[in-house]
């Protein structure tokens, strides 16, 4: 199969609010602060499974782009052929996907573009029919209720106290059911408006607004935003500033954060000729919570052979979503968490034909299927974690998607 790909420059006025352009035809999105990529239609896709899901998708992408007929007038990261992907957290069960939209509209600062795949005419870029609000949404516990999940957390704390491991990330799910199939563009609009500093994404039913960039590779530079250590906001600015200071001094949260930063730096180091790992984190303020955050950066020495997707595979799962030591932690997750994570906490993002791309971690996320939405939230458990406090943190992490499904 040979893809015909044409990228042309757009007037910024044609790409002022990207989501408004997106119809219901298999939409994909990757947006932050008004910039990013949206697309629709399917020109090509591959679905992969198991331990080789990343390698199989990357091989398919390399072969697909090698045979593509490309005319790119813009030559920015994200122009030309672009594939959007969402990958499962664990090797099994589940299905991962890499999809090439038929139409992509992108914006980076003062540059906007249109990419069309196929021989048909370029679409007229006009606002699509707006989405209808979800109707009759109700929420119920997923695999475990709150009491059951706190028992799992207590079990994990006991294992950490016995020195079986240092940290494990435990997640739980919540199931939302509506009276009719939900148009994913509705929660996407709510998330982009409420959480502009996060990366709002949707690929193949997996959507959310993640604050965590697993890896960005752009013209030889690689960056990763690590989040670990969380405190819920109160809505009172003075109180929240005091809480931010408490978070920045919390030995429990600083310990959890150090594990996560170390795991990312260790995974990136073999691919980088130089790296910058800040000594101390900063506090990232989001509307619902605050996180300890660190931006790790490096210069990639093997960009010609290692794509952003391969870097994402090397980083996944980091201590921020798995634990420390990671093999022990992920085995414990499979043994006691009590649910299938599916694509929750797996890499989600995009890759272009040069291998550049952005891959976030599918956090503050959910999986949409018709009228049912499965929401996910997770917490880092260390030796002095309190099950009730961790349950409250998980509830706070449900808020972005939960609120986005309402019609208020």
Contact between 118 and 381 under an 8 Å Cβ cutoff? The reply is no
Residue 188 has pLDDT above 90, yes or no: yes
Average pLDDT over residues 298-321: 90
Query: Does the structure show a pLDDT above 80 at 240?
Result: yes
Asked if 397 is an active-site residue, the reply is no
**Region 308-329: what's the mean pLDDT?**
92
**Could you tell me the pLDDT band of residue 408, with boundaries at 50, 70 and 90?**
low
Contacts of 172 (CB under 8 A, 6+ apart): 142, 143, 144, 149, 339, 376, 377, 378, 394
The alpha carbon torsion through 39, 368, 347, 142 (nearest 10 deg) reads: 170
Confidence check: pLDDT of 153 > 90: yes
For 10-61, write each residue's pLDDT tens digit. 988 777 789 999 999 999 999 999 999 999 999 999 999 999 999 999 999 9
Residue 389 phi, psi dihedral angles, 5° rounding: -65, -35
Report how far residue 83's alpha carbon sits from residue 104's, in angstroms, rounded to the nearest whole number.
10
User: Distances from the Cα of 121 to the Cαs of 5, 20, 25, 102, 229, in angstroms?
Assistant: 12, 21, 17, 11, 49
Told to judge if 73 belongs to the known catalytic residues of this protein, a careful annotator would answer no
pLDDT per residue as tens digits for the range 66-91: 999 999 999 999 999 999 999 999 99
pLDDT tens-digit series, residues 156-175: 999 999 998 999 999 999 99
Q: What is the pTM of this model?
A: 0.93
Catalytic residue among 167, 218, 256, 313: 167
Q: Of residues 94 and 302, which shows the higher confidence score?
A: 94
Of the candidates 315, 300, 316, which has an alpha carbon nearest to the alpha carbon of residue 356? 300
The CA distance from 146 to 8, in Å, is 51
**Euclidean distance between CA atoms 282 and 195, whole angstroms:** 19
Please determine, for residue 335, whether its predicted confidence score (pLDDT) is greater than 70: yes
Q: Which domain holds residue 133?
A: 4-404
pLDDT for 232 beyond 90: no
The pLDDT score that the predictor gives to residue 230 is: 85
Q: Dump pLDDT digits (tens) for 36-50.
A: 999 999 999 999 999
Tell me what pLDDT residue 258 has: 87
How many domains does the chain divide into? 1
Average pLDDT estimate for 378-399: 93
pLDDT bracket for residue 407 (50, 70, 90)? low
Of 59, 63, 73, 212, catalytic: 212
* pLDDT at site 125: 87
Could you tell me the CATH number of the domain that includes residue 10?
Answer: 3.60.120.10
Distance between CA atoms of 116 and 102, rounded to whole angstroms? 6
């Amino acid at each position: 199969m040979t893809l015909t790909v044409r990228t042309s420059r757009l007037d910024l006025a044609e790409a002022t609010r990207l989501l408004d352009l997106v119809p219901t035809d298999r939409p994909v999105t990757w947006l932050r602060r008004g910039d990013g990529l949206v697309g629709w239609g399917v020109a090509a896709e591959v679905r992969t499974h198991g331990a080789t899901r990343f390698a199989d998708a990357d091989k398919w992408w390399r072969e697909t782009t090698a045979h593509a007929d490309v005319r790119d007038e813009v030559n920015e990261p994200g122009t030309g052929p672009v594939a959007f992907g969402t990958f499962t957290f664990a090797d099994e069960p589940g299905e991962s996907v890499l999809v090439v939209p038929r139409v992509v509209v992108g914006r980076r600062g003062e540059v906007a573009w249109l990419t069309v795949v196929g021989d048909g005419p370029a679409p007229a870029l006009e606002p699509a029919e707006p989405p209808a609000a979800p109707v009759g949404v109700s929420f119920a516990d997923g695999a475990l209720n709150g009491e059951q999940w706190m028992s799992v957390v207590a079990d994990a704390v006991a294992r950490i106290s016995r020195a079986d491991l240092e940290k494990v990330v435990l997640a739980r799910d919540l199931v939302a059911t509506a009276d009719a199939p939900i148009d994913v563009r509705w929660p996407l609009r709510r998330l982009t408006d409420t959480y502009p500093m996060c990366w709002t994404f949707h690929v193949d039913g997996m959507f959310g607004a993640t604050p965590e960039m697993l890896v960005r590779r752009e013209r030889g530079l690689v960056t990763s935003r690590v989040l670990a250590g969380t405190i819920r906001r109160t809505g009172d600015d003075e109180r929240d500033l005091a809480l931010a200071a408490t978070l920045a001094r919390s030995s429990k949260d600083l310990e959890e954060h150090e594990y996560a930063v170390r795991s990312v730096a260790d995974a990136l180091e073999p691919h980088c000729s130089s790296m910058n790992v800040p000594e101390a984190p900063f506090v990232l303020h989001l509307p619902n919570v605050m996180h300890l955050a660190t931006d790790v950066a490096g210069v990639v020495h093997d960009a010609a052979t290692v794509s952003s997707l391969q870097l994402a595979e090397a980083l996944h799962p980091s201590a921020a979503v798995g634990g420390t030591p990671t093999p022990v932690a992920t085995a414990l997750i499979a043994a006691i968490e009590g649910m299938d994570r599916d694509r929750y906490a797996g890499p989600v993002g995009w890759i272009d034909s040069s291998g550049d791309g952005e891959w976030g971690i599918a956090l503050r996320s959910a999986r949409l299927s018709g009228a049912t939405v499965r929401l996910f939230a997770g917490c880092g458990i260390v030796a002095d974690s309190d099950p009730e406090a961790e349950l409250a943190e998980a509830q706070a992490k449900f808020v972005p998607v939960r609120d986005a499904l309402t019609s208020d």
